[in-house]
Amino acid sequence: PKVFIASGNRGKITELRRLLPGVEVVGTHDVPEWTAPPETADTFEGNALIKARAGCRASGLPTVADDSGLSVDVLNGMPGVRSARWAGSDATDRSNLELLLHQLFDVGVDRRGAHFACVVAAVFPDGTEIVRSGTMPGHLAFEPEGDHGFGYDPIFVPQGERRTSAQMSPEEKDAISHRGQALRAIIPELLEKLER
Ligand code: ITT
């Protein structure tokens, strides 16, 4: 089975490939018709569907898209769907997490709660749409630690952990992550439909 992954985020793609063993993944470089659509929805689900529908249209293939982000309690859930460009249109993973740490500099350890959320959408050429989600609760560290993962991983400590998700092995992160949960939830139906 073959799926197009409609994402330009390398960290995400690495994890999605790992979580889809046995599936042949087609990337954006193989689909010249692909251009990233504006993510105009204000929910993860809305944006995941925008990307998966556009990907399916461009590639003609079953398409998986992921919309995800980090929601911080004291920021009323921000950055949320704005996580990728929190520090502006030319933001990097580093500038995003530095801005977030700065915004929380006077927030104590007991008020640093946050969670990652991920929605994966699969859209098929026949119009079928499947959507699944996952979350990973935890809190924000005071300084970046670890160099695995991507994005905000160096400043996020999953519940029950002392390490950041960037200090965990890929397998450890997958076992508890928002993306791991969403993928494990979508796989049975996705494979069933791909193999039909
Ligand atoms: P695509 O839309 O092309 O897939 P994107 O990076 O723009 O890539 P999103 O709009 O879904 O994707 O933004 C997700 C951001 O949330 C991502 O850039 C990270 O900063 C953050 N994020 C999501 N999952 C994460 C994870 O597992 N670890 C660390 N940061 C994560």
126 is catalytic: no
CATH code of 107's domain? 3.90.950.10
pLDDT tens-digit series, residues 102-135: 999 999 999 999 999 999 999 999 999 999 999 9
Measured CA to CA, the distance from residue 135 to residue 141 in angstroms comes to 18
Q: Provide the pLDDT for residue 196.
A: 83
- Locate 144 and state its tokens: 């970046």
Q: Is-contact 163 146, C-beta < 8 A?
A: yes
Q: Is-contact 190 132, C-beta < 8 A?
A: no
Q: What residue type is 19 in one-letter code?
A: L
pLDDT tens-digit series, residues 67-107: 999 999 999 999 999 999 999 999 999 999 999 999 999 99
For residue 196, report the distance from its CA to the centre of ligand 1, in Å: 31
Residue 129 belongs to what domain range? 2-195
pTM of the full structure: 0.97
- Residue 42 among known ligand-binding residues: no
Instruction: For ligand 1, atom 15, name the residue with the nearest CA.
Output: 84
Nearest to 135, CA basis, from 113, 150, 155, 154: 113
Report the domain count for the chain.
Answer: 1
pLDDT exceeds cutoff 90 at 21:
yes
